[in-house]
């Protein structure tokens, strides 16, 4: 079952984020607190939205998808950016990942959004293969740019 997250899910969302970060070998980078997540997801001006995948038999959370709207100047429409998609290892292969992606795709279609985009780590071959099976187009000609820390501060000071 796929459902929208509620504020009561914040501890579980944080746990899932930390599990994803550990899987991606970057647990030290997952510093978001429950308070930050509560404000970002359920505060006065939510920055993102979360879907929770639950085990059909137990109702236990087994995965999540965190996304936010974007805007495409080329299409003149909003788009969706999927920031995180994660299904716990013991629940993989049961259809939770595809159900989360299908729910997000349905939101795009319902809202008239023409793009649904996300990033995937190149070394994550099982996930790349999964996305390939869905017909995902990989945009190899694009590179992700990121400024953080001192370079970000230096540019801001110019």
Beta-carbon count within 10 A of 87 CB: 23
Q: Where are the beta strands (DSSP E) in the chain?
A: 2-4, 49-54, 61-72, 77-87, 116-118
Catalytic residue (choose from 11, 131, 135, 153):
131
Q: Reply yes or no on whether 131 is catalytic.
A: yes
Give first-to-last CA distance, the chain, whole Å: 49
Which of the residues are catalytic?
131
């Amino acid at each position: 079952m796929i459902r929208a997250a509620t504020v009561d899910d914040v501890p579980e969302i944080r746990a899932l984020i930390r599990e994803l970060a550990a899987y991606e070998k970057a647990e030290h980078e997952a510093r978001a607190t429950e308070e930050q997540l509560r404000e970002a997801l359920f505060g006065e001006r939510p920055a993102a939205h979360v879907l929770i995948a639950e085990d059909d038999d137990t109702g236990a959370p087994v995965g999540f998808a965190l996304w936010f709207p974007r805007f495409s100047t080329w299409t003149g429409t909003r788009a969706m950016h999927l920031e995180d998609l994660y299904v716990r290892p013991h629940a993989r292969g049961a259809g939770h990942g595809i159900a989360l992606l299908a729910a997000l795709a349905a939101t795009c279609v319902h809202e008239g959004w023409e793009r649904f985009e996300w990033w995937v780590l190149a070394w994550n071959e099982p996930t790349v293969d999964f996305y390939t099976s869905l017909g995902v187009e990989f945009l190899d000609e694009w590179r992700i740019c990121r400024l953080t820390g001192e370079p970000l501060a230096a540019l801001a000071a110019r």
